[in-house]
Amino acid sequence: DAAYEAIKDATGRSPKLEDYSIRAVTSGKEALGEATVKISEKGRTYIGRGISTDIIEASAKAYIDAINRMVSAQTKGEQPELKAEL
């Protein structure tokens, strides 16, 4: 939550967090975790993903990825892509 608030403050964006999930990509001591977030703003939905051995970092990367997709779609005036891989 603190990481999301810091990102909101830094970007000046406050989209609604619709969904958040994490899963293990690999196993072991240095396992990779993948975070997926779904955010919405102005009736549109954007999905972001992030991967790291640190789940907080993966979550922050996913949130930033979703915000980047949102800003890109709003700047281009295009419909966002709802399923994209990193």
- pLDDT tens readout for residues 33-59: 999 999 999 999 999 999 999 999 999
Q: Which residues contact 30 (CB under 8 A, 6 or more apart)?
A: 53
Helix (H, G, I), strand (E, B) or coil at 85: coil
Mean pLDDT value across residues 25-34:
93
Residue 30 buriedness (CB in 10 A; 0-12 / 13-18 / 19+):
exposed
Q: Residue 47 has which token pair?
A: 């999905």
Mean pLDDT, the chain, whole residue set: 89
Q: Can you tell me the distance from the alpha carbon of 39 to that of 47, in angstroms, rounded to the nearest whole number?
A: 6
Between 75 and 50, residue with greater pLDDT: 50
- Give residue 84's pLDDT band: very low, low, confident or very high (50, 70, 90): very low
Gyration radius of the chain's alpha carbons = 13
| Per-residue pLDDT at 74 | 85
Q: Residue 34 has which token pair?
A: 């993948």
Domains of the chain: 2-76 (3.30.160.270)
Q: Can you tell me the distance from the alpha carbon of 84 to that of 66, in angstroms, rounded to the nearest whole number?
A: 10
Q: Indicate yes or no: pTM above 0.75.
A: yes
| Per-residue pLDDT at 49 | 98
